[in-house]
Every structure is written in structure tokens, then in C-alpha cells.
Structure 1
Amino acid sequence: MEDIVFRSIRSNGTATALVWLCCTAAGAGLVGCSDSSDDDGTDAAGGGASAAAQERTADENLLTGIEKIDVGGQSVNVSCSGSPAEGRPVIVLLSGGGDDLTKLAGIQKTLSAGDRVCSYDRLGQGASDKPEGPQTIESTGKVLTGVIEQVAGDRPVVLAGHSLGGLISARYAPDHTDRVKGLVLMDATSPTQNADLAREIPDSATGPAVELRDETLAILGGKGPEKLTVTDGEVRSAGDIPVEVIRHGKEYLATVPEYGPGLERAWLGGQRKWLALSERSELSTAENSEHYIYADEPEVAVRAIRKVADQAARG
């Protein structure tokens, strides 16, 4: 049913904006949340679930390949590639809502040439278990902690999140500054996403924007596959860790009839709010990208993540 709705909306020219709203809010089962495909597939993320993928690295017996691990009694699908480098953090990639770790396989493969890089499916995503009940930012953060403990050993980490994965990373970092030494937010969901939508598409609105707003707010309220409730809140400081905030440059939200320009302004405002995370935050624009920056301009995403990892290594 979700795919049928998606295809029908595509015909009236608002597909791209719908993808943004669904994916930033935890995408309700839309397999096609991104129009881009990854030629590398799961192999690029470190191989399939073969015998080779189950092998551990010699360094600290850390997992390599794609493997399901136990976190709090639930199965979480994890992919790790690359070898730990002395003095450098482990890079942990977080996908957007409605996506799984295979979406990040391309940049994971590139980054793993010089660093250890891991990604995972949150509960309700990809090959991980479905959540046992409603989730909050705090409970999904506990799963992230469990993943970090098993994939990074005692090493520090840099979190690089796209869309909803960016919001989760940004909410997590201030409470875990002992482990999180850098952040990269790729078109991260606004810290005031609920209010932004309610303001820009008011109750008096008509047309496709209404359905778009209502479905998105429902997903933000825990109705998506992750059952994750995302509430608005102030941006808390994570100290002076390096933070790169990257926003899209192609204003695709403008395709929403009547309300598009306001949505674009609100989105930019949300990206600027994330700068309060650190004294060392920087905002940049991926000029040729829509929402999926790591697919549209992978070199931009890779450069930002390597920059933050380098800064984190220097301390």
C-alpha cells in the first residue's frame, strides 16, 4: 500500500518532496525512499553473511563483514569494514528513516580504505529485529551504545548520520562525549521538525501538502516501522568536538505546491540550529545534491567525514 501511494504522488510532481518528508521522519516502509541505487550492494559494505564475513579482525577481536549481534536481547544487523588505525576513531554511519545499511555501502567502502567503518540497521530497519514496543530517542540511543561497544572496542567514534540518522547522532553525542569525538550531519532532520511542519503547512492548508504533513507528523509520532517518537527540543552542546553540518543545495522541497519555499527556509533554519552542538561546528552546502548527499555527491560526504576523523584523531 505504501508503494502504491508513493507512485501515485510521483505523477503530480511532488515525489521528491514526499521522499524528504518520509525519510527524515523514519519512512513508513518505502523501499524506494531513495531513487538512487548502490552498485556495490552489500558486498561494498564488507561482504555478505558468508563464512568470510564472520571472521574477526586480529585487532581486539572486532567483527568484520555483515553480522547480526545481540544488543539487549534483540538482533541488530551490523556491517564493518576496514582495519582499526592507531590513534584514529572508528567511524559509525547512521542511515535515514526507511533506509537500511546497504544504502551507505558505497561511502563505507571508500572510507574503509583508511579507517575502520561500521554501519547498522536500527530496530525496525533492514535485517534487524522489529522493536518490541514504542521507541524514544533515549531507547534507540541505548541500542547505538550497544553497537558501539561491540564494533569499536575501547576506541573513540565519529558518528556520521543522514537525515533521521543525523538527528539521532546529534541527540546522542552530548550524553556520550567520552566516546563520541566528532559528528557529521548530512541533511539531518531539524531539531524542531514537528513545529516546522505545523507552521509551514497550517491547518488551513489544502492539496497534497496536507497529506504530506499529516503522514509525516504521524510517523514522527511513532507510527513508522521503527515506532520511534521524535519530539522537538533544544540543541544541547557536545563540547568542542568537530562537527560538520552539510545541507542540500538543490532546493527540491520547493516542488511542494504553495508551501515549498517555506519548507526550504525551515529546513535551512534547522541545519543552522545544529551548529549549537559545538564551538567547532561548521555549516556547508552540497551544491549539486538533493536530500541524499552521500549518493548525489559522495565525494562531499567522504571529505567531510575524513576531515572530522582527522580532527578527532588530533584531539
Structure 2
Amino acid sequence: MLRTIKATAMAALCCAVAGTGLVACEETPTVDGKAIEESVDAAVDDALDDADAVIGATFTGTKKIKAEGRSVNLSCAGAPADGRPVIVLLAGAGDGLDKMADLRKTLGERDRVCSYDRLGEGASDQPAATQRQADSGKVLTAVLNHVAGDGPVVLAGHSLGGLIAARYAPDHQDRVKGLVLMDATIPALDAGLAKAVPDSATGPAAELRDQTLAANQGQNPERFVIEDAKVRSAGDIPVAVIQHETQFAEVPEYGPALEGMWSAGQQQWLALSSRSKLTTAAGSGHYIYTDRPDLAVEAVRDVATQAAADQR
């Protein structure tokens, strides 16, 4: 509606000015040498952004928003809590936001919490091309703008969602005030796999290695290329790193090497902050938030509480 109002206002303005004999309607009216249309455009765009932020801070349920010209599926629960950050959940590769519905509902009992389908996942549009961290980060920024405005957020990601959150936070320290990484994809997965499962490997271990390397090169629903990179600091923020207890039992010959690789990668994530803490989810496989929902909820709430205290 605001877009229509803008066009109508410009037509009325042009006619009114022309009626005074100052300018013809074919010309672009200016103020201080600046086109009035440009000024109106900027003002309306600002108003739309403000309106989106208000709507995003209040809606409950599932809706579609636009991000980078694509439709993104977004779901939120809970009411904004005074002084506490908005919690945003990021699922792993191949998972839509429905996978984290129980976690979102439980966290929503005390906090404002949202999750979304990345491009290629769930009910969101397919990506237009191969994606990298910067591309996924632009969509995440649009989501944060909608649900939190310029307010603080805590990102809680599982697997690939954890890696995306951890790579995003260092470049957005103005808004990301806490991280929870639930068995996040490790910082150097390609190099780790090459060392843990050599080319001479056969059977299930070789299949696991080859499928993972192919997925890392973009053969996944998101067309997301997972690149090895060093861990960068996200500032002095609270960071909870949670790793599984057992995951690679199906490849017993290389299981210990893979477990060692994964554990070392979780240790590397601690470099995100001097306030990082690593825990092991006893009895859990890769899906920590379903195997140990109690631990996941506790970690997210604890990080959110610390982040809120930091803002006071």
C-alpha cells in the first residue's frame, strides 16, 4: 500500500506545483538541487523498513518474506522479552525449519525465537546459483532485519547451520551477541576427511568420504559450497560449543580417526571468543537438539541470558 501512496503523492505534488506556474509536470521537481522523487523514495523505503521491523518483532507463526529477491520461509514463536536478544535457529543441511519446531516452541516459552528455511530447504525458494558463505549471509541478514531490526540476536545453529552462524558472527559483531553451535560442521572438513579416510579406503568409509566431499562442493539441496577456512574471532561474546558423544559407529575401521577429526574441529570453534565453552552431549548422536533437547534448551537460554547481561 505504501508503494501506491508514494506514486499517488508524486502525481499530486507534480500537479500542485505545475498549478502555481513554477514547473511543468514533465519536469522533475527539486528541493535544494535534489529530486523530490528521490527524497520521497528514500523516505518511503525507510518507512517500509521500519514497518517490516515492527511486524517481524510481533508476528507469531509462519510467513514468507523476501530476501535477495527470493521467497524465504520464516517462523517465529514467543514474545519479545525486555532486554533479551532474539534467538534465531539455523538447521543443518537437508533440514527445514520444521525439524527444529519442538526446540523453537520450548524456547518460545521464555524468549522470542525464530527459524527459517535457507534457500533450497523447506518451503523457501531454490537458490538462483551456487551459494557460498557470503550468499547465505545476505539471506540471514534479511531475516535478522525482519525479526530483530537493529537489536541484538543469538544464533543457535546445528551442523551446517552452526558453521554458517559461526562464519557470519565475526563480520556482524554489532548484532550477534551470542552463539550456540550444536555439532557444527567443522572449520576444515575437507582437510580432515582426507587425513582420516585415505584414498586407499574402501566400503562404507570411502562412500562416506566421497559423499561428504561432493556435498561440500555444492551437491546439496542448497547448492552451498562448504570451504575450509580458519576460525575468526566474533568478539568477546558467550559461545556454547556442544559436540556429540558418538557418531561414526557405522565405519568402525575409521571411526576413531573420524571422531578425532570431529572433536579437534569442535575445539577449533573455541577460538570464536575468549568466553567459549565446549561440552559433550552424553548419549547424543549428531542431532543433539533431538537426542538431548534438555541440554540444547539450557545452552541457548544460558547464552541468551549472558548476552542480555552484556547489553546492560
Partners of 1:98 and 1:176 in 2: how far apart?
Answer: 26
Out of 171, 177, 180, the residue aligned to residue 176 of structure 2 is 180
Out of 245, 251, 254, the residue aligned to residue 249 of structure 2 is 254
| Post-superposition offset of 1:301 | 0.2
| Post-superposition offset of 1:104 | 0.5
Partners of 2:175 and 2:145 in 1: how far apart?
Answer: 10
Q: Matched residue of 2:270: which SS?
A: helix
Q: Matched residue of 1:191: which SS?
A: coil
Any gaps of 5 or more consecutive residues in structure 1? 1-55
Deviations 1:170-201 (A, max 9, x none): 00000000000000000001001111111111
The answer as to 2:259 corresponding to 1:264 is yes
The answer as to 2:272 corresponding to 1:306 is no
Q: What's the counterpart of residue 32 of structure 1?
A: none
The answer as to 2:287 corresponding to 1:279 is no
Q: What's the counterpart of residue 288 of structure 2?
A: 293
Q: Matched residue of 2:235: which SS?
A: coil
Deviations 1:223-267 (A, max 9, x none): 111010011011000110000000112x23133131111001111
Compared CA separation, residues 271 and 95, structure 1 to 2 (3 A): same
Q: What's the counterpart of residue 35 of structure 1?
A: none
Partners of 1:57 and 1:156 in 2: how far apart?
Answer: 13
Q: What's the counterpart of residue 100 of structure 1?
A: 96
The answer as to 2:123 corresponding to 1:165 is no
Q: What's the counterpart of residue 216 of structure 1?
A: 212
Structure number with the bigger relative contact order (C-alpha 8 A, sep ≥ 6) is: 1
Q: What's the counterpart of residue 79 of structure 2?
A: 83
Q: What's the counterpart of residue 114 of structure 1?
A: 110
Q: What's the counterpart of residue 132 of structure 2?
A: 136
Partners of 1:57 and 1:201 in 2: how far apart?
Answer: 47
Deviations 1:44-85 (A, max 9, x none): xxxxxxxxxxxx997775432100111111000000010111
Deviations 1:146-183 (A, max 9, x none): 11001112221000000010000000000000000000
Compared CA separation, residues 60 and 188, structure 1 to 2 (3 A): closer
Residue identity matched to 2:117: D
Q: What's the counterpart of residue 148 of structure 1?
A: 144
Residue identity matched to 1:211: E
Q: Matched residue of 2:186: which SS?
A: coil
Q: What's the counterpart of residue 66 of structure 1?
A: 62
Partners of 1:60 and 1:98 in 2: how far apart?
Answer: 26
Compared CA separation, residues 64 and 221, structure 1 to 2 (3 A): same
Residue identity matched to 1:153: G
Partners of 1:312 and 1:120 in 2: how far apart?
Answer: 22
Larger radius of gyration: 2
Deviations 1:88-130 (A, max 9, x none): 1000000000100011010110110111000000000000000
Partners of 2:275 and 2:160 in 1: how far apart?
Answer: 22
Compared CA separation, residues 192 and 107, structure 1 to 2 (3 A): same
Q: Which contiguous aligned blocks of 4+ residues in structure 1 show a shift greater than 4 angstroms?
A: 56-61
Partners of 1:76 and 1:107 in 2: how far apart?
Answer: 20
Q: What's the counterpart of residue 47 of structure 1?
A: none
Partners of 2:56 and 2:160 in 1: how far apart?
Answer: 31
Partners of 2:201 and 2:56 in 1: how far apart?
Answer: 56
Q: Matched residue of 2:277: which SS?
A: strand
Greater helix share, 1 or 2?
2
TM-score normalised over the length of structure 2 = 0.81
The alignment-based identity, stated in percent, is 62
Task: Tell me, yes or no, if the aligned pair for 1:254 and 1:263 is still in contact at 8 Å.
Answer: no
TM-score normalised over the length of structure 1 = 0.80
Aligned residue pairs total: 259
